[in-house]
Amino acid sequence: MNSLLLAVIGVGMILAGYFLYSKFLASKIYALDDSRPTPAHTMEDGVDYVPTNKYVLWGHHFTSVAGAAPIVGPAIAVIWGWLPAFLWVTLGTVFFAGMHDMGALWASVRNRGQSIGALSGRYIGKHGRNLFLVVIFLLLLMVNAAFAVVIANLLIGTPTAVIPTWGALVVAFLVGQAIYRLKWSLPTVSVVGVVALYALILVGNSAPLALPETVWGLPDKAVWIILLFVYAGIASMLPVWMLLQPRDYINGLQLFIALGILYGSVLLARPEVVAPAYNQNVPDGTPGIVPLLFVTIACGAISGFHGMVSSGTSSKQLNKESDARFVGYFGAVGEGLLALGAIIATTAGFRTLADWENVYQAFNDGGVNAFVQGGGTIIEAGLGLPQSLSATIMATTAILFAATTMDTGVRLQRFVVQEIGDVIGVTVRKNLATFIAVAVALALTFGAGVDGSGGLLIWPLFGTTNQLMAGLTLAILAIMLIRRKRNPLPALIPLVFVGVVTIYALFIQLGTFYEQGNWLLLVLDVIILVASIWVIVEAFGAMKAARSYTGDDDAELLAEATYEAEDARE
């Protein structure tokens, strides 16, 4: 199989999904309506609720949801062969991820920018909401802790990426000032920002930086992790326009350029895919492809984390409802293209099958390093860029995406802490909520030692927890559609599929953790399993009740939003 044919078919399928299926969803299922004011206008506060240009918001949304996961998941999953990963990424992006992400954005906008956790209280019930918040808290904890460790490892392993990684913060801050204070045109800001970012990559490639092995008695990895959490904590409290939005926007452009470089190199080099279509010679210890494929590749097919971003930060910045199609669905398209690029890089970026098998000697042996290595090889063969510069571009891309997810994750964790405070009747201010979010993640990260290994302690549960979140978000969407007498099948079919394979995977993991004697993960697995089954049962009860609902949900929500907006103005 030639990688160029694989790329053409995959890109064609994903783009067809955007131009055809998303149009159907926007008009017939979600009925997006620009005459309805969005929370960004009715609740504008200049900090979290800010009406935003759809291209800038797409950059924030896309880079927040993408992170390193659409690279890591496919780069691991190709151990079963390239074909299963290819099918799940392309079909998942079109029929699962795009529908889910745009739907979560729509649901939150119709409910005053409330998070999916809060929406579960309205549509499923108070017990469902409380259990939902537990799952969300654990999921964000896994993301924040694990991504800090992943980024620290990449900064140590690729010192040429240090300057562009931290220099990007300065570029983003200046871009924010140029857009909102100096009122530069978006195309001008975009060109200047991207040129500055790539200049930093060139500087970093020629001037690698590394911390001493120990700083103040701490290993370099621990120092990087602390610095990352200090940054994320500060960034999560700043107004979104000052750093978060412009940083994500420039990173989004950078990623599309990086993808252009990768796909352009595939076009020029046309390397053969050396990995088998379906690998019947998987290494010992590799779990079964069903159901693990569908939880190993989460971002890039469907991911519950996307619903949290859609309803956590993006919905509060949506300028008008019709923008949800571009921000939500096309955000999923961008991630699908990234996942497809990861599949190509990790299956066609090696000279022979033996070279590929040498990397994939065991499950979890692939990942970001295989992406950087394979992608660098393809770019060198296609565009003739030196291997070191190609690797720096790939590593910087992976780091910047992981970092944007981490700072958004800390902001979302702050919202969740405040929502939990509301549930128990305690008002938690922004600074305290941020401190709690960072402190808990740091405690987990360093709980197993100063090497930060604790950050990956509960990561094995990420895939299943994340997919259950997606299923629960789909359940809310289905309830909302049933109450409006619209066709719920676009949400129900993915819900049933994701629910079955994920609960199946949780039971398999339960047995694995028991055999390993890993009691921490076993207890958490049981908690997540029980909570999720409970919420699902309540959700199907709510769907049954929604069938007999005779009110006008849209009219009621609009009346509530109008009343609250008038009350806030007074």
62-121 pLDDT tens trace:
877 876 778 888 999 999 999 999 999 999 999 999 999 999 999 999 998 988 888 988
Domain hosting residue 325, numbered range: 3-568
Backbone dihedral angles phi then psi of residue 123, each to the nearest 5 degrees: -100, -20
- What distances in angstroms separate CA 535 from CA 1, 226, 342, 545, one per listed residue? 44, 36, 34, 15
C-alpha angle with apex 98: 93 to 104, nearest 5 degrees?
140
How many CA atoms within 13 Å lie on the side-chain side of 567? Answer: 6
pLDDT for the residue numbered 565:
64
Q: If residue 136 lies in a helix (H) or strand (E), which one and from where to where?
A: helix 126-157
β-sheet bridge partners, residue 152: none
pLDDT for the residue numbered 567:
64
DSSP per-residue codes, 452-496: -GGGGSSGGGHHHHHHHHHHHHHHHHHHHHHHTT---HHHHHHHH
The CATH number of the domain holding residue 36 is 1.10.4160
pLDDT for the residue numbered 174:
93
The structure tokens listed for 7 are 């790329």
CA nearest neighbour of 375 among 345, 351, 397: 345
Separation CA 390–CA 373 (nearest Å): 9
Separation CA 396–CA 403 (nearest Å): 10
Structurally, how many domains does the chain consist of? 1
Grouping H, G, I as helix, E, B as strand and the rest as coil, residue 183 is: coil
Separation CA 252–CA 231 (nearest Å): 20
Grouping H, G, I as helix, E, B as strand and the rest as coil, residue 218 is: strand
Q: Positive or negative CA dihedral for 411, 306, 534, 117?
A: positive
Mean pLDDT, each 10-residue run in order, the chain (570 residues): 94 97 97 94 90 90 79 92 97 97 96 88 84 83 88 89 92 90 89 91 92 89 94 89 85 83 92 95 91 89 90 93 96 93 94 93 83 86 84 81 83 88 88 93 89 82 88 94 95 94 91 90 88 85 91 78 65
pLDDT for the residue numbered 409:
86
C-alpha angle with apex 138: 165 to 40, nearest 5 degrees?
65
CB 272 within 8 A of CB 476: no
CB 457 within 8 A of CB 104: no
CB 399 within 8 A of CB 167: no
DSSP conformation class of 158: -
C-alpha dihedral, 129 to 464 to 401 to 384, nearest 10°: -160
pLDDT for the residue numbered 569:
59
- Hey, how many other C-beta atoms are within 10 angstroms of the C-beta on 351? 12
Q: Which residue has the tokens 């799952």?
A: 135
Q: What share of the chain is helix, strand, coil (3-state, %, to 5)?
A: 75, 0, 20
The structure tokens listed for 353 are 């099958």
Q: Which residues contact 98 (CB under 8 A, 6 or more apart)?
A: 17, 18, 21, 22, 25, 328, 329, 332, 333
Separation CA 294–CA 486 (nearest Å): 28
